[in-house]
Structure 1
Amino acid sequence: MAGSRARSYRRVSTQLRWKRFFATTAPGELGVYTYRAHWLAMIGFGVFGVTHMIEVLPIFTQQQSSLHGWYSLFLMALGVLTGCTLYYGLRHSVRPWVFFAFTTVVGAAILALPAAWTGGSLPQNPWISGFIILAVAAAAVLWSPAVAVLYMASIEVVYAVVASQVITTAPRAESWVAAGLSRVVFSLMLVMILTVGKRGVKRMDLNYAEALSETLAMRRSRSETEDQERIDRLIHDNVMAALLDASRSQGVLHRRTRQLAARALDVLAEESSRSTAAHTVMVHDLMDELMDALAPWRTRVRFTNLRAPVRPVGEPRVFVPAYVAHGLTQAVSEAVANSARHSGSEITIVSMEGDVCPPSPINPEGFYLRFTIRDDGRGFNYHDVPNRRLGVRVSIMENLDSIGGRVVLDTAPGRGTTVSLIWPGDVRV
């Protein structure tokens, strides 16, 4: 049952996404705990890389006469990549390209070792050998454990051939066999630890998704209960008024009774269509509903670019399903409430716009709506928000997801927040 709830809610991705080589993996593309685990891994990788770089520098100095000068470019590249990994990790920014570049540079350095060797005897094993462990760890973070083990085996085989058949080391140097076995053991242990950690955070993300799903279901249930109470009140008021009027009339039924009865029937028909998701509202009515929902924040909200008409004058009016209008109104209200509570800004700008677009399975009528909620406040880091605060994740993101929309969140500490709510979600604007 729990698994079905998570699937109905949203499958949590645990794989790093690639858009372009230097792209940042967006927080929304990974689960909450998976994203945190990745930038924590980047910090650990960076710290380990810095300490290993300090250890390697004396070895590099001793081997300068045995290796060509251009080979030092590999050490410089590894130093830069280590610094980038630590920098991005401390900024909680997941950058997959750093891990990929690290594995590539280490592999290239192993392959280039025979060309860099000057022919002299090395006082000890080449300085690049220690970076193999780090490269295997990067492969385990970036890909699967099987790929990491395959990468390790390939690198170790190539390095064994180079160390035993091409270059020579001083007799007192550590045996390349013993050093290789030590690296393999450490690499396998590191891959195992990273694999267990990745599976653990994946399980945590699935549990978190189930919790969000249940929270959203509770909110929907509460909303349905309120709708049902409203229906009961409407029925009670109209039916009781008709009955009271009929009870007080003498002789033939009064015209007022017929009017009240007709009104009661209209109310029942409208609420019946609403309960079966067949009810629709016009876009300009959605704007009126939004204005009413934002009434508590009328002193801080500034409206701009409120263009309700989506189609030219003379063409049929644009309608949206009632549940979509309700979900959009809830999400906009929550975004404005979050801005009022947390941004520190005195003004929140709200805009609504729409236009025609190719028809989609979600919206066969062929139009889209976009709401933008913006402030110039303190901003925040999405994955630093405590898990107990579900406003952004449930009331906004998952609310839009449940009605077929999507959310684009643009925020960072110190540069404000912009929330874009787009319906339908499969449109590209």
Structure 2
Amino acid sequence: MPAADWRMARFAPHRTAVSSAQVETVVARAVGIFGLVFAAQTVPVALEQSEALAVGAGTTLMALLYGGVVALAVASIGKVAVTGTAAAFAVLYAAALAAWPLLVDDPAALGGPPWLYYLANVATSAAAIAFPLAASVAYTVLVPAWYGVLRATAPGGQADTLLATLDALYAMILGFVVLIIITMLRQASRAVDGAQDAALRRYDVAARQHANEIERVRIDALVHDSVLTTLLSAAAAETPEEQRLAARMARDAVRRLDEAGASGPRTVESVGLTVLVRRIRAALTTFAAPFTVRVVNAAGVELTVEAIEAVYSATVQAMVNSLQHADEAGRTTRRELRVRGVGTGGVVVEVADNGRGFALQDVPNERLGLRVSIEERMAGAGGTAVVTSWPGEGTTVTIAWPAGVDGATT
């Protein structure tokens, strides 16, 4: 690639691909917002029908379901406990629908279908968010079907069989439409995630090869312009002054070679922190022991490809070290992985366990997993790795990029 084209490629604006995390956020927020709209529309009917229910039942039911809708909207907007909140609302709605016949004291006072019907698709959408596909399909079938049965009874408004069946089918069809859309979006986003990961790996290899080629040309020029000149001058030096000049030239050439080796090639393309989180989660699925994962402030953070690779490799090595050395007979070891975005271009990863621990000064130099795979890997990429451990008190490996972010030190 010509130099001008390479510079343009390196500094072209980066466009973040749609990820699974973004799809889940959009879907959850859509369900939360539309849930609020549907819930608001049912308030007048719910107030009217509360007189037909047992004393206090109408108020309790409204508080629980409307509170669940609000909680779902807040969780989806704040991106906190979305799956748990959606699952809780889906279960709560199914329980309310099942208990409805027991709560109705005066069926004649209902004046129409139960107001719960208008929240049926909010519940099936919440189930699609929270449950696996098979469970979501079962929920989308069973909940509307139960409503159809309920609708034909006195507590459900005593509708004729055809109307009850049509109501149930309508709710079921809408539920399946939402479920299909969510499933297709998830499948498409997973395909994008896989393609992005593959492209990232290919880009990293190509970028490193190109950077190494540029570095080779630079070193060749340095050797030609500095080292060879120094050698020729030294070979031709006859007087003490000429020999001293050759020695100074040699020291300068060595210094320039050291500086060139220390700088090394760098890649500047950036990717989202969510890519790193996704790769770490994928690595966790291959481990025999579980890690509790906590991710904070990952959205909007971007790191260079080199940083992603370094932090990923160091994190996996730290987890492997924990699996190999932390367990102690007769004691359960708890392991945590905490990923925290810092600003718009920094990250701190902590791999912690409460295992046997060790004394850092007792680690032999030949143990490369700690020194080379973690500490030197991060230092070479411009980051830091700090290991904190003590016998019997567990171990914490804090990996930070760039160096100095969040006060991390080597």
1:171-210 equivalent positions in 2, closer than 5 A: 175-210=163-198
Structure 1 residue 178: deviation in Å? 1.5
Picking from 107, 113, 123, the partner of 1:135 is 123
Say yes or no: does 1:242 pair with 2:231: yes
Structure 1 residue 132: deviation in Å? 2.3
2:89 maps to 102
Residue type of the alignment partner of 1:383? A
2:46 maps to 60
2:281 maps to none
- 3-state SS in 2 of match to 1:408: strand
Residue type of the alignment partner of 2:176? L
Cα distance change, pair 143–168 in 1 and its aligned pair in 2 (3 A) = closer
Structure 1 residue 182: deviation in Å? 1.0
Q: Report the more deviating stretch, 131-140 or 58-67.
A: 58-67
**Residue 78 of structure 1 contacts residue 105 of structure 1 at CA under 8 Å; is this kept in 2?**
yes
User: What TM-score comes out, normalization by structure 2 length?
Assistant: 0.55
1:118 maps to 105
In structure 1, C-alpha distance between the alignment counterparts of 2:144 and 2:127, rounded to whole Å: 14
Cα distance change, pair 139–422 in 1 and its aligned pair in 2 (3 A) = farther
In structure 2, C-alpha distance between the alignment counterparts of 1:195 and 1:144, rounded to whole Å: 10
Picking from 274, 295, 310, the partner of 1:400 is 310
1:370-381 equivalent positions in 2, closer than 5 A: none
Residue type of the alignment partner of 1:400? A
In structure 2, C-alpha distance between the alignment counterparts of 1:201 and 1:126, rounded to whole Å: 38
**Residue 36 of structure 1 contacts residue 92 of structure 1 at CA under 8 Å; is this kept in 2?**
no
Structure 1 residue 79: deviation in Å? 1.9
**Residue 386 of structure 2 contacts residue 397 of structure 2 at CA under 8 Å; is this kept in 1?**
no
Q: Deviations over 1:102-125 (max 9, x none)?
A: 112112212222321225334322
**Residue 409 of structure 1 contacts residue 419 of structure 1 at CA under 8 Å; is this kept in 2?**
yes
Q: Deviations over 1:332-374 (max 9, x none)?
A: xx9xxxxxxxxxxxxxxxxxxxxxxxxxxxxxxxxxxxxxxxx
Identity of aligned residues (%): 17
In structure 2, C-alpha distance between the alignment counterparts of 1:174 and 1:61, rounded to whole Å: 28
In structure 1, C-alpha distance between the alignment counterparts of 2:223 and 2:215, rounded to whole Å: 12
Picking from 45, 61, 69, the partner of 2:31 is 45
Which of the pair is proportionally richer in helix?
2
Q: Deviations over 1:280-333 (max 9, x none)?
A: xxxxxxxxx7xxx8xxxxxxxxxxxxxxxxxxxxxxxxxxxxx9xx98xx99xx
In structure 2, C-alpha distance between the alignment counterparts of 1:80 and 1:215, rounded to whole Å: 48
Residue type of the alignment partner of 2:62? L
In structure 2, C-alpha distance between the alignment counterparts of 1:210 and 1:422, rounded to whole Å: 27
Cα distance change, pair 402–119 in 1 and its aligned pair in 2 (3 A) = closer
- 3-state SS in 1 of match to 2:142: helix
Cα distance change, pair 229–86 in 1 and its aligned pair in 2 (3 A) = same
User: What TM-score comes out, normalization by structure 1 length?
Assistant: 0.53
Structure 1 runs (4+) greater than 6 angstroms displaced = none
1:82 maps to 69
Residue type of the alignment partner of 2:46? F
**Residue 49 of structure 2 contacts residue 58 of structure 2 at CA under 8 Å; is this kept in 1?**
no
- 3-state SS in 1 of match to 2:303: helix
Cα distance change, pair 166–410 in 1 and its aligned pair in 2 (3 A) = farther
Structure 1 residue 168: deviation in Å? 5.3
Residue type of the alignment partner of 1:408? R
Structure 1 residue 187: deviation in Å? 1.0
In structure 2, C-alpha distance between the alignment counterparts of 1:57 and 1:192, rounded to whole Å: 29
Residue type of the alignment partner of 2:33? V
In structure 2, C-alpha distance between the alignment counterparts of 1:33 and 1:102, rounded to whole Å: 26
1:26 maps to none
1:305-316 equivalent positions in 2, closer than 5 A: none
In structure 2, C-alpha distance between the alignment counterparts of 1:245 and 1:428, rounded to whole Å: 50
**Residue 39 of structure 1 contacts residue 93 of structure 1 at CA under 8 Å; is this kept in 2?**
no
1:315 maps to none
Say yes or no: does 1:383 pair with 2:383: no
Q: Report the more deviating stretch, 159-168 or 202-211.
A: 159-168
**Residue 33 of structure 1 contacts residue 205 of structure 1 at CA under 8 Å; is this kept in 2?**
yes
Aligned length in residues: 288
**Residue 144 of structure 2 contacts residue 168 of structure 2 at CA under 8 Å; is this kept in 1?**
yes
